[in-house]
Structure 1
């Protein structure tokens, strides 16, 4: 009998240890709490839908912010426990739990649409688990025109990095060289991304945006494949040993709240359970110096056999090749880029744009 990957996915969330990891993620919890409760003007008296509500913590935040009704939709059997947690916090008259998939959910007849959708849908490298599809389905079926999503934007970033734990630390293991072992280990690891925390000093270039997702209008089709092909400029000396990928999500901000809440998984931000996603290279490409160009192509593609998983395909390119297009202007040290940048600057000066 063929296994339903959706059933397998939802059953996995009945494991309380998974929720223990999320509930002890202070950065995650506080970002959602702050985004919701400090924007009480957006929630007061509103109808809220919590997609994939889990233990119900986001639903409780919404109730604390003054929501009049919260519909907490949870497909796993954790829904039963969340009812007890909601009652424990005295919000059973505000929050109603529905033990079903969002695809099978129907709003009560007394409610036409909801004002706000909240969800913690992010997976590793943002898209793993494919839960954003469910949020977008809920948006299209249940959200009022002009309604809000928490979060409502997401940004996927990357940067070339060095990985001393994969390369340099194997030169001496209790007085024994293990470079050949490390080489075989990297080949094994390069076939599957790693989820680890890396030090911000390991990044050798600025943050580069792979994709910006506006949840108010993005479609699930657009999530099937993201292509990124770029020349990045090294900002410091370092060995190109892997690619680091992380994300930020951003929340709406009411008129009475000047501070926008951002939940970041950047290496320099407070650590989260998402950590960073690393694609280690099988071997060093080379050591880069400041203003050296680094070229690569990254494809983030949905697995056709399991829509909740993605393939990450990384190809290293020759930045010196005429076939590789540099950005305009480009800050690298290549002669053609220096001349192009000077030419563009002269055109700006001659047209008086600086004084416009």
Structure 2
């Protein structure tokens, strides 16, 4: 394939090509979709190098815009309850009854550790306690760098019933033409990335 493929080494922002391109393919997605911050670089390449057909040429059958793959991306959030968290915390309380040693100070510390920042792990579907809320849905052929780097959303979630809220789980989907969807949802059977957890115990 050496006669067909040319490899260019360097930062995406610095690359120079002989002409506009028909297709841009990038696996830029990270945990919670945006963690690795690669999307701005991909959008820079799109704006600079993806083929855009001039308005006066759009009636010609052989003139089409370039394509970016994946073509869209969505981020979701849902609350979850996890008995394992409660069990891990209760381990410290059980020390007093089992060994006659009070470890309540460790329980407080463990709770702080579990609730600090985001964690990455898998969540079972039965641990999700409400329908998910879609936080973003970006058309990657049109979204701007500003829109993907300054995301603020209000959302409302209603739990299925009475449950202990341990935190929130984030997952994403990306789509391709012909209705092909790659999902990291806890309901998906083909998850290739574990889920991102924001714990609020």
TM superposition score category, shorter chain reference:
0.7 to 0.9
Q: Which has the higher contact order (CA 8 A, sep 6+)?
A: 2
- Assess if the C-alpha contact under 8 Å between 1:194 and 1:279 holds in 2: yes
**TM-score for both structures, normalised by structure 2:** 0.83
How far off its partner does 1:159 sit?
A: 0.3
1:121 match: 28
The 3 A distance-change label for structure 1 pair 271 and 198 is: farther
How far off its partner does 1:180 sit?
A: 5.3
1:261 matches 2:180: yes
Instruction: Return the alpha-carbon distance in structure 2 between the equivalents of residues 187 and 213 of structure 1.
Output: 34
- Assess if the C-alpha contact under 8 Å between 1:148 and 1:252 holds in 2: no
Q: Please, which of 148, 162, 170 is the counterpart of residue 81 of structure 2?
A: 162
Instruction: Return the alpha-carbon distance in structure 2 between the equivalents of residues 168 and 270 of structure 1.
Output: 27
Instruction: Return the alpha-carbon distance in structure 2 between the equivalents of residues 183 and 203 of structure 1.
Output: 25
Which structure shows the bigger proportion of residues in strand conformation? Answer: 1
Instruction: Return the alpha-carbon distance in structure 1 between the equivalents of residues 104 and 190 of structure 2.
Output: 30
The 3 A distance-change label for structure 1 pair 164 and 214 is: same
1:171 match: 90
Q: CA RMSD in A?
A: 2.1
1:213 matches 2:138: yes
2:195 match: 276
The 3 A distance-change label for structure 1 pair 162 and 200 is: same
- Assess if the C-alpha contact under 8 Å between 2:133 and 2:156 holds in 1: no
The 3 A distance-change label for structure 1 pair 186 and 213 is: farther
**TM-score for both structures, normalised by structure 1:** 0.48
Gapped runs of 5+ residues in structure 2?
53-64, 97-102
Q: Please, which of 41, 44, 49 is the counterpart of residue 137 of structure 1?
A: 44
Equivalences, count: 183
Q: How does 1:188-203 map to 2 (within 5 A)?
A: 188-203=113-128
- Assess if the C-alpha contact under 8 Å between 1:126 and 1:156 holds in 2: yes
The 3 A distance-change label for structure 1 pair 179 and 271 is: farther
Instruction: Return the alpha-carbon distance in structure 2 between the equivalents of residues 182 and 143 of structure 1.
Output: 54
Post-superposition CA distance 1:81-107 (Å, at most 9, x none):
xxxxxxxxxx22222111111111111
Q: How does 1:245-324 map to 2 (within 5 A)?
A: 245-253=170-178, 260-270=179-189, 272-281=191-200, 283=201
Instruction: Return the alpha-carbon distance in structure 1 between the equivalents of residues 170 and 104 of structure 2.
Output: 26
